[in-house]
Amino acid sequence: MQSADTLRCVVFAAGDYYDSPYPPPSGAFVVAADGGYDHARAYGCHIDAVVGDFDSTSTPRAAIGARTVALPPEKDDPDLLSALKIGWRHGAREFHILGALGGRVDHTISNIQQTALVAAHGGIAYLHGDGRVITAICDAALEFPAHDVRGTQYVSVFSHTDSSIGVYEEGLKYRLDDATLTNLEVNGLSNEFVDGLDARISVRDGILVVVFDDRSPLPTLVGADVRGDLGAVSTEVTDALVRR
């Protein structure tokens, strides 16, 4: 469960920033994923760690002042996942990821999958970009405070798992009660916040991906059960890969 003293981790990725980055919270642990280092420096952020194969940053590794974790060009984990693993090992359970939306659609899909991975372990990861925030929850709830909905009204919900059971959407224009969503049906698109109402999105069993406007207030994660970890940073290639 999120609390005021939850350690937050901000990850700078190498993608598009849309000229409006999420301001890192005070005291956040900051990790740059390869070319994200250049973005973090451009915004004058303190950087705690840099991870990657250093093929997309303009700064030589030897000139980077933060702790660096060098990865080989060929490995199972993308640089962003390695950054999340470093943040998790440092104690973070709430992640804010910049530069991970837009650009190559395969990268965007991968990044959304990684929010689901964090959710499956009881944490929460937010992808910020292009006026939207994307996150995921597992067997938990998001609670949004009441706010002025002008320009922030849309919120969409999708099942990441084959099925998500016991889905509730409360305080929104369209209410769901104990619904089942599947990852082959698009029936959670474009719900709306309502002026003056707190909103709550929850799932009893499954993983939901939630998309909302970035001008709405960030929600509180409720009921998440932190379990296990994201694993060690990978420097290997799966044995299933056939090299040619």
Does 97 share its domain with 193? no
Take residue 127 and report the two structure tokens written for it.
């992808």
pLDDT in tens, 110-138: 999 999 999 999 999 999 998 899 999 99
Does 87 share its domain with 44? yes
Does 183 share its domain with 98? no
Nearest to 129 by CA among 11, 10, 21: 21
- CATH number, domain of 24, equals 3.40.50.10240
Q: Please report whether residue 230 resides in a domain.
A: no
Report the pLDDT averaged over residues 147-163.
93
Which residue is associated with the tokens 């959304």?
112
Does 72 share its domain with 95? yes
Asked if residue 39 has pLDDT above 80, the reply is yes
Say which residues have a Cβ less than 8 Å from residue 133's Cβ, sequence separation at least 6: 126, 127, 211, 212, 213, 214, 218
Asked if residue 98 has pLDDT above 90, the reply is yes
Domain containing 59 equals 7-130
Q: What share of the chain is helix, strand, coil (3-state, %, to 5)?
A: 15, 35, 50
pTM: 0.91
DSSP class of residue 114? H
Asked if residue 241 has pLDDT above 60, the reply is no
Report the pLDDT averaged over residues 99-116.
91
Which residue is associated with the tokens 């303009």?
58
Nearest to 182 by CA among 202, 210, 160: 160
Does 119 share its domain with 137? no
DSSP class of residue 162? S
Does 43 share its domain with 30? yes
